[in-house]
Structures are given as structure tokens and as C-alpha cells.
Structure 1
Amino acid sequence: MMEGRSVEVVPVSQLLTRSFYIPAYQRGYRWTQDQVEDLLNDIHDFFPREVPGSEDKTWYCLQPLVVRPVDSSEIVIKDMTSNKIEYELIDGQQRATTIYLIAHYINEMFRGKIKEPELSLRYETRFSSTDFLKNLSVGTDENVAIDSSNINFYYISKAYQTIHSWVTRLNAEGRFKQDRFIDVFLNHLKVIWYQSDEADSIAIFTRINIGKIPLTNAELIKALFLKDSNFSGIKDANDIHLKQLEIANDWDRMESALQSPEFWYFLNKSEYQPETRIDLLFRLIIGRPDAKSGYSVFRIYNQNFRTDSLKDIELKWEEVKRCFRTLEEWYNDREHYHKIGFLIEAGENLDDLVRASREKKKSAFLNYLDDKIRAKLPDQLDQLEYKDQKVKLVLLLHNILSMLNNKEEGSKFPFDRYKLNGGWDVEHIHSVKDSAPDNEKARRVWLAESSECIVDNELKEEIKQSLQKKELEETIFKDLFSRIIDHLSGTGDQSDKNELSNLALLDATTNRSYKNAVFPVKRKVIIEREKAGAFVPICTKNVFMKLYSKNVSGISFWSPEDRENYFSDMVKVLAPFLSLNRESDTHE
């Protein structure tokens, strides 16, 4: 049978009326002065604002309290003096105790005969702690007696003194507004109440505290969907269970799919790492929440979840599934996959793409994607050079579209391998003369590697003799370097060294491994890297395998003809997106 879970947002005014049992496995109170003052400052500095379109106001959210109702049969821990439901406080004791201390201070210092409720805290082993809390007070000397008889009393009394010192200081500065502080504390300071009916409270505590099942936005939203009150119109308990099981199974399938690196990194930049990946769906549904709030997604979702109607719950769940289906359909469709994947990497916002897909028919949405891609590219490729910011995007799109255009090939561009590869460089295919090694050791390595590719015996012999000398003179090396570059390019002309026809996309690791090596050495390194499992983009591989070249006899050369053929392929592949018309969204 599925364990019951529910979640709600509770203002402190309601929390103060509840009773809690603190089990023995909980450590004692340990909040420091800084932690207590941080909470006081947050309350003091919070200004509730009207929520547009509702009668509500904004509120300040505390971390969740995780509780379990104490069963009446558990006589050993049943509160025999009260008819209140008692909750075992599994996680959040530090926050609950601090809330008690603030409420107690308000009653002592600001209230007359009419007091605010003070939440009931009862301890399994630290029996005297309950009375100690009730008897805390500020002395006639305007100080709290710090009790060092045990560690718990010490921290509790220090925290109470911190509250009094903080209020006294702000009063002296004329900054403390008593009524406003109390109003925010009681009505606009709220906690996320996470209730579980699981019998083993220690198991819940352990899971939360070792981080295996953190109470993330997603976990709290899941509890919103699964809570029993959603299904109050269903009389049969088995039918309720089936409904909950259906949602839980859908949830698990979506969460599992989003764990796939291929799926996830097609949709997201590598730096976007939410607490749980299913958070992405809820973020897309509600829009972009306030990133400063740890539970901002849950708060907004909870705000729109005020319903007891099973039909409304089913509609909200269908909205989640529909959002996921959109992403899944994009992933499974090769055209959507490659174009959207490129746009995400080029800086387009996923939220905007999802919104556009909802508003447009499929053909219009594909036209919309094409317009977005055109906006990322230059008008012409022949004006693009090495340091231009758009070079990397052009090279990336050439790789992506080359895979998309191969109708015989079912494989996709691996965005996960591209994004997790430690960075990418735009690299010269054929070395340039102004990139010579700058120390003798590197120069000797460069000459030795290059010598293996030289077919000119006279030049090869000069390299050999230079390497045999104790010192390699800089002038001699520069002469050899220049001649080798010319020899392996078939021309001495370096005027086109920074043009697109001499540039390729390489992962930073491969690029660093051969730096300014000559073409055949680079080719050898790339072959070895790919054999070892490294990802080499398809167009980069085609370049170094000379698959764009009509004449493959000169395997050690990257000639002007090779460049021309490579550039021609780039123009052909990218032609549909090289438009001078920069008006976006021209298609409906």
C-alpha cells in the first residue's frame, strides 16, 4: 500500500497552535547567534506585497517541517493531557524551537493578558526542556540568565538572549516596528508542512539527512498531487490507491527519462543543474520563478493548486504530462532535435521555445525555428574569420546539420558529449606561421613530429641535422618552421590562414594535446583520440580524413583545393539559413 504524504503551506499563526513530540534520535537545539539573527533580520526586512489577480499577499518561506502524526495506540508517547493531534517532528526541530522562542518573547515583552499561542514541544528524553522553555524570561537587569547546566539549555538561553539583544539594538536605533514585525512573523512567515504517514520515522529522518530523498521543489509538488484530500470524492480506498499509483508511475517514468544524458543535455546547458531534473517541467509550466528563493517553484505551484476537485487535479496533472510529451516528441523527431538542440546551445531560452510551440502549428513552429537559426548566423560565410564570435556557432551548426541531412543515418548529434567535453576551441586545420613554439624543448618535439610527414628528402635531412645539435638556434628553427608549413600546404600563401576554410571545431583536450602541430600530426592525434573513445565532431573528422577532398593522394597536406571543397560543403549545408532577410517570425 502506498504510504500517505501531504504538503501544505502553514503560517506561523497556525503552526503555534500545534503540538510536537521530539524523539530521542533528534539532537538538541544548536542554533547560533548568527542563525537566530539571520531569521530575525529576514522577518524584519520582509515587506508583503499584493499578488496580482488575487486577494493574497506575498510571504516569506522557511524550510520544510517534516512530521508524522503520532498514532493514538502509541501510548508511550501519547499526550494524555490534551486532545490535540500530536506530531512527531522528524526534521525541522531547530526552526520550530526558534519560532517558539520568538513567540514566547513577543508574549513576554509585547503582550498583556491576551497572549499568542505557543507551540507545544514535548521531548522523549530531555523531559525538563519543556519547562525550561516555558520559564524563559528577561531579567530585571535586561539580560537572560544563560544556563550552562547542560548543552541544550545553554544554546536555548543564548538564543533567547540574542532575540532580546537584537530587539533592544533596533529599538535604540529607532528601526524596530513592533506591530509590523509581529504581523509579518504571524501571518507572512510560513513553513512548508510536509506530512508523512510512514510508520518508520527513523527511516524518514535518515533519508532526509543523508540526502537520498531531499525535500526539493519536485518532492513537495509530488506530495501536492498525491495527498489523499485530492481524492475525497472517491469512496473506495482501492480506487484512491490506483489513482495515486497512476500519478506516481507517470512521475517515475518522466523522471527516469530526464535522467538520460542524451535527453537532458539536448534541452539544457551543462551549467543548469536543478535539485532534481523533473523540476524543469514545473519551471516551464509556471514560467521563470524568483531564483533567489529555494522553494520558489513550489511556492508558485502551490499558489495555483487550491482545489479539492478531482477533475482539476487531473487537468493539472495532464498539463505536466503534456509539457513532458512536447519535450519527448522534440527528442524523438530528428529535425526538432537538431534545430532545437543548436538553438539552446546558441543561447535561446527553452521557456520561449516551449511557449512558441504551444502557440503555433507544427509547420509554423519549424519555420519559427529556422528563423531563429538564421538570426544566429552571419549573412555571408566568406567574410567570417578566426576571431569572429560567430565562427564557433557556424562550425557547430555545420556539424549538426550534416548529421540531420544524412537521411540514411539514424544517429543524432550527441549534445551530451559535446557539452560535457570540457570546452571547445576553434582550431586552425593547417598550422599558421605565427604560431611557432616558443621554447627549445617544444621546438624539438615539433620538428621531430613534423619530420615523419616530410617527403622532401633534402628538407628531412636538414631537420635531422638540426635536431642533432646541442643547441637549436632560433633563427634556424624559424626558417625550418616556415618551410615545413609551406611544404605541407602546397603553397607559401598564408593570406587565407584565418578564413573559415582553415578552421574546425575541436574539444579543448585534443587541441591542447597537439597545439600547433602540422596537419598530418593533428590527423594522427585525432585518429588516436577517437579510437580511445573521444568525441570528434563529424565535420572535423571529415576534414582530417580528407572526405571533402576529391584528390586524397596527398594525405599529409591540407591544400588550397582541400579548403575550397570544405568551404563549398559548408556553404551548401548552411545555405537555407544564410539569408539577408533578418526579419524574425515572418512565418505564421
Structure 2
Amino acid sequence: MNKIELKPVGKIILNENTPDRNPRFEHYLIPYYQRGYRWSEEHVSALLEDIHNFMLTDEKKYCLQPIVVVPATDENGLNVWEVIDGQQRLITMHIIFNYLNRPKYSILFEKRGKSTQFLENLSPETFNDGNPDFHFMSQAYGTVKDWFDDKTKNDVGYIDEFNSTLTKKVEIIWYQIEELKQLIDLDEIESRKIDIFNRLNIGKIPLTDAELIRALLLSKIKHGLSDREAILRQAEISNEWHRIEMELRQEDFWYFLHNKALEETSSTIEFIFKLIANNNHKKYSTYLWFEKQVKSESPEDEKKNAIKLWNLTKENFGKLKYWFENNELYHHLGFILALDDSPTKTIRNMIENSNCSKSKFKAWALEEVKTNILDVDLVEINYNNNTKGLKKIFLLHNIVTSAVTQKLQKNRFPFNLYKKIEKDGGWSIEHIHAQQSKEMKEQNSIRKWLEDTYDVIKDIKKIDVEVGDQSEKTTSISINEDYKDRISNLLFQERIDEEEFNQLRNDLIQTFDSESVHILDNLALLSKYHNSSLNNAIFPVKRKKILELEKEGSYIPITTKNIFLKYYTSSDLQPYYWSKVDKENYYKDIEEKLEPYLTKLAVDNE
């Protein structure tokens, strides 16, 4: 199985297993299928600055990115390391040690002997642009020289301090591929090496924390086992790993937990590792935490530590899966996580609080939902004073409505669809009735508004509206031909008269809409993209577009769809008007469904 460990840079120059040579240093082979050295001045300076900045901190260790090697032998039967990934860093550090005149490893270029000799003898006197390798090596040496000239002009001890830091405190992730030892066919071995190289380099796909952790755990768990037992144990863990990875990769499961797009995630199991590690977001910090937890003087203790971490990984996955499959926890925890831009810390808190009976944890989740809407008053909240609170209310109303519907239709709230829209433009608060907004002036928008409106009202003969403030009394208003004629006349104009249009628009809004205000019963949740296309439209136009969008496959929240289907008022069947009765019943439904969450928080008597 592949080996993985942290090595101080000094140990990749000389260590207890370095073969006897003259001089006795490690040798690294750059295979023929890799392109040559190509680091720019910016890359070289960045590495030097990183090490310099580390010297100025109190941190004990600094970690470079992985070097991936395969053990091989030279013509004398002595060990050399074939470099699959990390050539650029190895060569740059070689150039640094060269300039500092300190011990260094040797680098050999397969089938490019001139590059081997040029790098070994590199100095300002040998700078050369004869080929790309020579050019970039010369440029890197010049960058190193200029950088150290600046740092040492007032500090005679700087070079010694830098070299000591680089060789003793700077570590590298050493990834040693051992799996090729099982192969006999030389062509297959070579093909596998190239496959590994391509995966790591084509498209710039680096080793992930998850891949490094996998190699770490598998390499430690096999201690003390026979070859057959080790293969079986590693196969068992690999199968468990694959199952967790694939289950988390299910879209509805992933988005229940996370806001990050699934396609941006190279490894889903890495999310669980980050939950366990509870560390910073620096590259490879999760692997480094696991490596620290596993490390021990005793191989047997390292094995126990690795098994313990793998069992903890499976335990945490089991909890996440139970939350996902339990409808009550799915909706309550899903609501909390949907409000959080960075849910890792929140899920970690959930895991800590789940170490109790299932009933107690469900009660805790309910209280957390209540806590998240403490700032909401259904009576006082409105569009002008708390749009963030409105989004919470409408999200929870949709979740609870979906949960109730789910009992009959087995259809839960789609956090995956909700979060995709949140990521791609976001959600907004839609006015069910059009606002008396500022006048429209853009000709294309005016023409589109007229076309959409005419398409809807051309077949409407009348609408039933309330009389005064009496919601139980209605009267029929005929939609006479005057409106249709006015729209037609405007559409025939080459440039539509803005004043005439805005007067017509206001007349139509007053006819089709009751009093338009910014309170709860006239608001709903809709994606910003769809909201912009519905802006200023009268109710029947919005209704038509909402239904068309849903038929086309767009996600429309269930309560928003219910509004335009006139779901909340069974006795009021006319579809063209959002009446006072509709408003009252819509508000009542919000109030009833959210009542369990707006009650006083439970007092913890334990």
C-alpha cells in the first residue's frame, strides 16, 4: 500500500536509509514523460517569501505541498526516487541550496542528460537560454540570488537561519507509491506511472486532503497483519470509503448538509474529515491534523489511532445519514443549515449536541429553529423593516408545508433546489400585488409589459372584487374593451408614449389589485431571476407566468405556487384577483403552521 508521511526537507536530502554514495545524498529522477522546469520568477519568489514569513512566526512547522515518488534503482542497484509530482518544487529548492552552498540532493533528468549537468553546475557564469530548461533554471537562480542579496545586506546570519529553517522546520508531504511493486509487466508499470502523472498534472488536479488521509489510514492500519490480511482489511475500508463517498454525492443528501456546489467538490468524504479535524482552512491542514493524531512512537499505537479515526468518520457519517432520513430532523436541521453560509461549524455543533437520546436531540433541534426566528413578529414584520426575517418566515413556511404534504405524497422540501437558486442569484421577496412603483420609461420593458398584459386580459370578461373594507361583500367588475383597445393602440405606436402608458398601467393595477402594501399577506418567496421578470405585472399576468415557469421545470416554492393557484381560499374560485379573503387565509395558514416555532423557548431544567 502507498506510504505517506511528513518529512523535514533535510530528510529528503539525507536520512538513515540513504544509500552509500560519494557524496552520500538522495537522488531524484525526473522521468522522460514530464515536461521540463517551468517555474516563473513569481513562483520562485513566492516560495522564498513563504519560508521567510514562516521564520517570523512562532509556529513550529510549515508544510509544503506533496511530492509523489516511486522507488526505483539506478544502474548500480542503488535507490533513486522517480518523481511523479513535485518536480518544480524539488528543482527550485535544489537551486536555493546551490546558491546557499549547502548540501543538496541530486536531480537526474531521464533522457535529458544536458539538463542534469546544467542544473548541477548552475551559477551566474553558466546562465544560458539554449533551451527552455536552461532558460528557466537560469532565471530561477537569478531570482534566488537577487532575493538573498536583499535579505543579507544588513544581516550576516540570515543565510544560516534560512537554511536551518528550511531543512529542519519546513516539512513536505511525502507520498510514496508502493502499489506498483505488485506488478511484474514493465510496460504495465510504466503505463500506471504515466496514468498517475496525468491525473495529478493534466488540468492541474492536486492531491486532495481526502486522498492523503486515505493513504495515511490504510498504511497504518495494516501494521501487524499478514499480506493477505492487510489486503482484505484495506479492501474492506476502501469499500466503506466508496459507499460513504457515493451516498454523500447524492444531490439531495449533499445539499441538505452543504451550500457548496457538488460539482465543485472533488471528494465529499473530505467534508466529514473537516468536521472531525476542526482546524483552519489552509491547504492540507485537515490532512496535517489527522497525521498529528495518528503519529506515535509505537506502530501499534499508530494503528489504533488510525482505526479510531476511521471509526469516528463512519460514526459521524451515520449521524448525518440518520438526520437526512428522519423527516423531522431533515426539515428542522435543514432549515438551520439553509440559513448558514458556512455550515461546517454549525454541523459540528449539531454533532456535539446529538450525543443524547434521539427524542432529546429532536427537542434540541426544535428549540434551535425557534432561536433562529426569535427576531420575527408576524404582525409587525414587513418588506421595509426586515426582509431577512421575511425570508426566514417564507422558507420555514415552505418547509413546514412540504413536511405536511410529504405525509401524503412522500415529497420533502427540496433543499438542493433551494440552495442552487440561493447560490445562483439568490432569493427575493415578491409582491403578490404589483407595487405602485416608479414610472416605467424603457421602451422594450414597456412593450413587453403591454404584450404580456394583453395576452392575459383579452379573454377575461369580469373579475369579482371586494366592496370597500367588507371582504364578505363583492361586486363584479367588467373588463371592457376600452382596456384592450388602449393596449392595442399603444402597441401600434413606433415609440410608445410613456405618460399614456403609465396612466394605463396604474388604471389596470387599481382594477386588478386590492390595496398593495408591504406586509406579510401580500408577499411571497421567489428567485431574484424570476422576480425581475414579474416585476410590476398585475396578478393575472404573474399567475400565468408562475404556472408556465413550473411547467417548464423551474423550481417555484410550494407556498408561492399555492398563492397563484388560489389554494388558500376554496370558496373563491376566480383566478384573476388576490382578494382580501385570500390574504386573510394565506396569513392564517402562515400563522397556524409556524405557531409551534413562535411559542416561548423551552426552559432547560436539567
Interval of TM-score (by shorter of Structure 1 and Structure 2):
0.7 to 0.9
The verdict on how the C-alpha distance between 1:468 and 1:251 changes in structure 2, with shifts beyond 3 A counting, is: closer
Contact 2:221/2:304 (8 A) holds in 1? no
Match of 1:397 in 2: 396
Structure 2 residue corresponding to 1:488, chosen from 512, 515, 525: 512
CA distance in 1, matches of 2:49, 2:57: 18
Match of 2:360 in 1: 364
1:262 is aligned to 2:243: no
- Cα deviations by residue, 1:131-155 (Å, 9 ceiling, x for unpaired): 3333334xxxxx4431234332332
| 2:235 alignment partner AA | L
- Deviation larger for 237-246 or 175-184: 175-184
Match of 1:113 in 2: none
Match of 1:444 in 2: 450
- Deviation larger for 470-479 or 304-313: 470-479
Structure 1 residue 364: Cα displacement: 2.7
- Deviation larger for 365-374 or 179-188: 365-374
Match of 1:160 in 2: 141
CA distance in 2, matches of 1:301, 1:426: 44
| 1:68 alignment partner AA | V
1:524 is aligned to 2:544: yes
CA RMSD in angstroms, aligned pairs only: 2.6
Structure 1 residue 120: Cα displacement: 2.1
Secondary structure class of the residue paired with 2:578: coil
- Cα deviations by residue, 1:491-526 (Å, 9 ceiling, x for unpaired): 4x34xx211111111123332333222222211111
Match of 1:295 in 2: 284
1:19 is aligned to 2:43: no
Match of 1:140 in 2: none
Spell out the pairing of 1:326-405 with structure 2 (5 A cutoff): 326-347=319-340, 349-359=343-353, 360-361=355-356, 362-377=358-373, 378-387=375-384, 388=386, 389-405=388-404
CA distance in 2, matches of 1:218, 1:212: 17
Match of 1:417 in 2: 417
CA distance in 1, matches of 2:376, 2:528: 28
Structure 1 residue 15: Cα displacement: 0.7
CA distance in 2, matches of 1:363, 1:47: 52
Contact 1:403/1:409 (8 A) holds in 2? no
1:467 is aligned to 2:487: yes
The verdict on how the C-alpha distance between 1:587 and 1:277 changes in structure 2, with shifts beyond 3 A counting, is: farther
CA distance in 1, matches of 2:27, 2:232: 33
The verdict on how the C-alpha distance between 1:527 and 1:145 changes in structure 2, with shifts beyond 3 A counting, is: same
Match of 2:150 in 1: 169
Secondary structure class of the residue paired with 2:294: coil
Match of 2:65 in 1: 63
Structure 1 residue 175: Cα displacement: 9.0
1:285 is aligned to 2:279: no
Q: Identity, % of aligned pairs?
A: 33
Contact 2:8/2:172 (8 A) holds in 1? yes
CA distance in 2, matches of 1:380, 1:370: 18
Structure 1 residue 543: Cα displacement: 1.1
Contact 1:69/1:86 (8 A) holds in 2? yes
| 1:367 alignment partner AA | A
Secondary structure class of the residue paired with 2:215: helix
CA distance in 2, matches of 1:425, 1:343: 19
- Deviation larger for 12-21 or 354-363: 354-363
Spell out the pairing of 1:39-54 with structure 2 (5 A cutoff): 39-47=47-55
- Cα deviations by residue, 1:411-467 (Å, 9 ceiling, x for unpaired): 211111111133222101122333664444245335424533643486432112323
- Deviation larger for 336-345 or 18-27: 18-27
| 1:217 alignment partner AA | D
| 1:380 alignment partner AA | D
CA distance in 1, matches of 2:96, 2:372: 56
Structure 2 residue corresponding to 1:557, chosen from 573, 577, 601: 577
| 1:285 alignment partner AA | I
Contact 2:449/2:537 (8 A) holds in 1? no
The verdict on how the C-alpha distance between 1:468 and 1:49 changes in structure 2, with shifts beyond 3 A counting, is: closer
Secondary structure class of the residue paired with 1:65: strand
Instruction: Show structure 1 runs of 5+ residues with no match.
Output: 51-56, 73-77, 108-115, 138-142
Q: How many residues align?
A: 548
Contact 2:32/2:110 (8 A) holds in 1? yes
CA distance in 1, matches of 2:269, 2:105: 35
CA distance in 2, matches of 1:447, 1:123: 73
- Cα deviations by residue, 1:277-328 (Å, 9 ceiling, x for unpaired): 22101110011x322x221111122111214233332221101111111111
Structure 2 residue corresponding to 1:324, chosen from 305, 317, 323: 317
Structure 1 residue 341: Cα displacement: 1.1
Match of 1:95 in 2: 89
CA distance in 1, matches of 2:395, 2:214: 38
CA distance in 2, matches of 1:158, 1:483: 74
- Deviation larger for 424-433 or 342-351: 342-351
1:86 is aligned to 2:89: no
Structure 2 residue corresponding to 1:233, chosen from 224, 234, 250: 224
Match of 1:37 in 2: 45
Structure 1 residue 169: Cα displacement: 1.6
Match of 1:111 in 2: none
CA distance in 2, matches of 1:342, 1:223: 36
Q: Given the two structures, how large is their TM-score scaled by the length of structure 1?
A: 0.87
Contact 1:451/1:460 (8 A) holds in 2? no
Instruction: Show structure 2 runs of 5+ residues with no match.
Output: 15-25, 181-188, 463-476
1:434 is aligned to 2:424: no
CA distance in 1, matches of 2:265, 2:80: 35
Structure 1 residue 486: Cα displacement: 3.3
Structure 1 residue 256: Cα displacement: 0.9
Structure 1 residue 345: Cα displacement: 1.3
Structure 1 residue 174: Cα displacement: 4.5
Determine which structure has greater relative contact order: mean sequence separation of CA pairs < 8 Å that are 6+ residues apart, divided by chain length. 1
CA distance in 2, matches of 1:541, 1:458: 27
CA distance in 2, matches of 1:32, 1:402: 58
| 1:123 alignment partner AA | F
Contact 2:569/2:582 (8 A) holds in 1? yes
